[in-house]
C-alpha cells in the first residue's frame, strides 16, 4: 500500500508537468513545488501520534542513556551477524546504485530523442505499471518465497534498462519503462517484508536506520557519478573512432545520445549479473528458510 501511494502520483504529475512547463515555465513549477512542501509541513505539524508504551521502564531508561553511535552499532551488529540479511543489504544497495544512475539519466536520455510532452506520457505510463503492480501485490500478497520474486523482477529491471539502451524506438521505450516500473513495487515490497519478518520489533528502528543510511550514501554516490560517467567516459567513447564506437555504434548510433545509451547497456548488464551472482549465494537465496521469522511478544 505504501508503494501504491507513491506510484499514484506518477499518473498525472508527469503529463501535468510537461503542460505547466510551457505555461508557467520552470520558475512557476519551482514555486508550485515549494507550495506542496509547505502543505506537507503544515500537515505534519497537525498530526498527533498516540503515546504507546511498548517497552519496559528499565528498557526505556537504558535506551535513553545509549548514544547514537551505540544505537547504530547495535543495528549493524544484528545485520552482520546474519549472513542472509547482510547479503540482502549489499544486494539491494548495489541494485539501488545501478537503478539511481538510470533514474538520473532517464530524463535527459528521453529528451535527447523526443519532446517534454512525450516524456510526460512515458513517465505516466510507467506510473500505471507501478500502480498496477502495487494493487496486485496488495491483494495477492506475493509468492511464498519472496526472495525469488525479488530476484526475478530484478532481472526484468536490468533487461528493461538494457533494451532501452539498445533501442531508442518510443514504443519500445514506453513498454520497457512500463515493465521496469511494474517490477519496482514488488522488489521493494518483498525486500521490506523480509526485513520485517527477520528483525525483532525492538531492533527494527536501528537496523532499518543503518540500512537506510548505507542506501542513501550509495544513492548520493550514484547521483554524483552519473554526469561525469556520461560526459567524461561514455560520450567520448561513442564520438571517437574507438573500437566500441565502431562496433556498438552500428546498433545504438554515435554522438551525445549514444553515450547515455551505452551506459544504460552497462547498467542493465551489471544489474542482471549482480542478480545472478546474488542467487548463487546460499545464505541470501535461502534467507527466508534458514533465518527464522521473528514472533513479536505480547
Sequential DSSP letters for 82-134:
-HHHHHHHHHHHHHHHHHHHHHHHHHHHHHTTS-HHHHHHHHHHHHHHHHHHH
Residue 156, CA atoms < 13 Å, CB-side half-sphere: 19
Is 196 within the bounds of a domain?
yes
Single pTM value for the model: 0.78
Report whether 115 contacts 236 (CB < 8 A): no
> Residue with C-alpha cell 498516540?
50
Is 57 within the bounds of a domain?
no
Is 81 within the bounds of a domain?
yes
Using CA atoms, how far apart are residues 167 and 247, in angstroms rounded to an integer?
15
- Residue 112 sits in a domain of what CATH number? 1.20.1250.20
- Please state the domain count of the chain: 1
Is 168 within the bounds of a domain?
yes
Report whether 265 contacts 258 (CB < 8 A): no
Is 60 within the bounds of a domain?
no
Residues 145, 96, 156, CA angle at the centre, nearest 5°? 55
pLDDT at 63: 47
Is 296 within the bounds of a domain?
no
pLDDT of 65 over the 80 cut: no
pLDDT of 206 over the 80 cut: yes
Q: Which domain holds residue 146?
A: 2-44+70-290
Report whether 75 contacts 268 (CB < 8 A): no
Is 123 within the bounds of a domain?
yes
Using CA atoms, how far apart are residues 248 and 240, in angstroms rounded to an integer?
12
Is 49 within the bounds of a domain?
no
pLDDT tens digits, residue range 156-194? 999 999 999 888 888 999 999 999 999 998 998 899 999
Amino acid at each position: 500500500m505504501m508503494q501504491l501511494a507513491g506510484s499514484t502520483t506518477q499518473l498525472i504529475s508527469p503529463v501535468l508537468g510537461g503542460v505547466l512547463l510551457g505555461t508557467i515555465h520552470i520558475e512557476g513549477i519551482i514555486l508550485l513545488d515549494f507550495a506542496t512542501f509547505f502543505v506537507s509541513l503544515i500537515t505534519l505539524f497537525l498530526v498527533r501520534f498516540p503515546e504507546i508504551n511498548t517497552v519496559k521502564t528499565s528498557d526505556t531508561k537504558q535506551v535513553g542513556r545509549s548514544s547514537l553511535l551505540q544505537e547504530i552499532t547495535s543495528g549493524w551488529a544484528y545485520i552482520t551477524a546474519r549472513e542472509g540479511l547482510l547479503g540482502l543489504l549489499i544486494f539491494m544497495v548495489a541494485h539501488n546504485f545501478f537503478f539511481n544512475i538510470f533514474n538520473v539519466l532517464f530524463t535527459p536520455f528521453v529528451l535527447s530523442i523526443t519532446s517534454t510532452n512525450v516524456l510526460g506520457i512515458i513517465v505516466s505510463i510507467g506510473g500505471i505499471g507501478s500502480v498496477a503492480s502495487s494493487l496486485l501485490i496488495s491483494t495477492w500478497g506475493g509468492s511464498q518465497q519472496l526472495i525469488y520474486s525479488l530476484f526475478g523482477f530484478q532481472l526484468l529491471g536490468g533487461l528493461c534498462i538494457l533494451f532501452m539502451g539498445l533501442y531508442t524506438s518510443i514504443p519500445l521505450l514506453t513498454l520497457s519503462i512500463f515493465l521496469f516500473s511494474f517490477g519496482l513495487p514488488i522488489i521493494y515490497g518483498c525486500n521490506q517484508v523480509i526485513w520485517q519478518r527477520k528483525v525483532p520489533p525492538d531492533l527494527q528502528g536501528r537496523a532499518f536506520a543503518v540500512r537506510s543510511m548505507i542506501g542513501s550514501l550509495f544513492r548520493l554516490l550514484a547521483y554524483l557519478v552519473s554526469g561525469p560517467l556520461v560526459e567524461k567516459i561514455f560520450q567520448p567513447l561513442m564520438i571517437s573512432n574507438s573500437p566500441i564506437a565502431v562496433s556498438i555504434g552500428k546498433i545504438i548510433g554515435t554522438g551525445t545520445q549514444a553515450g547515455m545509451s551505452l551506459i544504460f547497456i552497462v547498467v542493465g548488464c551489471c544489474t542482471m549479473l549482480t542478480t545472478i551472482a546474488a542467487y548463487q549465494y546460499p545464505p541470501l537465496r535461502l534467507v527466508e528458510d534458514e533465518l527464522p521469522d521473528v514472533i513479536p511478544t505480547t
